[in-house]
Structure 1
Amino acid sequence: MSRWRGLTGETSGEDYAARFAALARSGKEVHGEARFCAALVPAGARVLDAGCGTGRVMIRLAELGYDCVGVDLDASMLAVAQQQAPELPWFQADLAGFEPNLLGIAADFDLVVAAGNVFPLLAAGTEATVVKRLAAALRPGGLMVAGFGLDEAHLPVPPSITLSAYDDCCAVAGLTLVDRFATWDAAPYDGGGYAVSVHRR
């Protein structure tokens, strides 16, 4: 069972969306991830939002002109995404078993983004498999971006994956570290409890 399922029961889509809607109304920036991704690849690029949740990142990228596909395991989150942007392609799938071709999706993405603590919330022991599956969905030269917490202050669950372990998973999957930041605003990584990592296939 994924840590996400254990944490939420996969019934939290509406609550999750409401929390970000309230942040946006209060004037908080809620599109940092999309802005970060848009600085990496040009408009029109194919983007896979892995663990897309309610679609906040992907919907913004689509508005900016990107060709996006969203995948998530949580039906409650996807229901919100589909309601907000029914014209976009949303798929329910476990990332540990993700095979784009079986869903009728071409595995030639320019960018795969895993925002929102996707990796620490996976089922224990599936991290390397998920990295391998997402790497396989990239075209040669494509980028994978993952942002996640590394300590209890930045996670809703106990820390489960270190940066070195994540880098090892990426290396085995044929990915090379390009850059690492402390935030989605591209602040330099300083060894703190949150990291945004960019790897290239």
Structure 2
Amino acid sequence: MNRWEELTGGTSGHAYAARFAALAEGGEDVHGEARFCAALVPAGARVLDAGCGTGRVMIRLSELGYDCVGVDLDASMLTVARREAPELPWFQADLTEFDPGRLGIVADFDLVVVAGNVFPLLAAGTEAGVVKRLGAVLRPGGLLVAGFGLDRAHLPVPPGIALPEYDKCCAEAGLALVDRFATWGADPYDGGGYAVSVHRR
């Protein structure tokens, strides 16, 4: 069981979606991740949303003209995603065992986005394997984009993977660091408790 399942029991999809809906209704920008990704690859590019949750990022990218695929383990989250955008391809799969061929997914993505603190919420010790699997679905030159908290102030659980460890996982998977930011708004990384990392295959 991963840390997300321990935290939520796999039943938080509707509550998670409601929280972001309330933020949007209050005037908050809830599309920073999609806008960040759209600045990296042109419309029409293939994007894998790994740990897609309720589909907030992927649905917005699809609206912007991207060819998207979403994968998540949590059935309650995918129920919301499928309700909101039934025309889009949503797959239930554990990222630690992610096998695109078995799911009928063509593995030639221009960008893989991993938002929503996915890496710190994996089961400890599985991070390198997930990075390797996600890196393998990128075409040469493709980008892996991951944003996650690094301290308790930015996480719902005690901190998991640190940046040096994450960078090592990426290097072992053949991915090189391109840039790192402090927010999805592309603010420069200042050593704080949240980072958005861009690696290239």
TM range (shorter): over 0.9
Cα deviation code 1:15-55 (max 9, x no counterpart)? 00000000000000000000000000000000000000000
- The residue that corresponds to 1:185 in the other structure is 185
| 1:176 corresponds to 2:170 | no
Cα deviation code 1:124-175 (max 9, x no counterpart)? 1100000000000100100000000000000000001000000000000000
d(CA) in 1 for partners of 2:123, 2:81: 23
- The residue that corresponds to 1:33 in the other structure is 33
Q: Secondary structure at the match of 2:185?
A: coil
Partner amino acid for 1:169? C
d(CA) in 2 for partners of 1:64, 1:76: 25
Q: Where do residues 117-128 of structure 1 align in structure 2 (5 Å cutoff)?
A: 117-128=117-128
d(CA) in 2 for partners of 1:124, 1:86: 33
d(CA) in 2 for partners of 1:101, 1:2: 23
- The residue that corresponds to 2:95 in the other structure is 95
Cα deviation code 1:101-144 (max 9, x no counterpart)? 11111110000000000000001110000000000010010000
Q: Identity over the aligned pairs, expressed in percent?
A: 82
d(CA) in 1 for partners of 2:66, 2:170: 25
- The residue that corresponds to 1:137 in the other structure is 137
- The residue that corresponds to 1:82 in the other structure is 82
- The residue that corresponds to 2:47 in the other structure is 47
Q: Secondary structure at the match of 1:180?
A: strand
Divergent runs of 4+, >2 A = none
Query: TM-score, length-normalised on structure 2?
Result: 1.00
Q: Unpaired segments of 5 or more residues in structure 2?
A: none
Q: Unpaired segments of 5 or more residues in structure 1?
A: none
Q: Secondary structure at the match of 1:16?
A: helix
Partner amino acid for 1:142? G
d(CA) in 2 for partners of 1:74, 1:41: 28
Query: TM-score, length-normalised on structure 1?
Result: 1.00
d(CA) in 2 for partners of 1:59, 1:126: 28
Partner amino acid for 1:40? L
Cα deviation code 1:34-90 (max 9, x no counterpart)? 000000000000000000000000000000000000000000000000000000000
d(CA) in 2 for partners of 1:125, 1:163: 15
Q: Where do residues 128-167 of structure 1 align in structure 2 (5 Å cutoff)?
A: 128-167=128-167
d(CA) in 2 for partners of 1:157, 1:136: 29
* RMSD between superposed Cα atoms in Å: 0.3
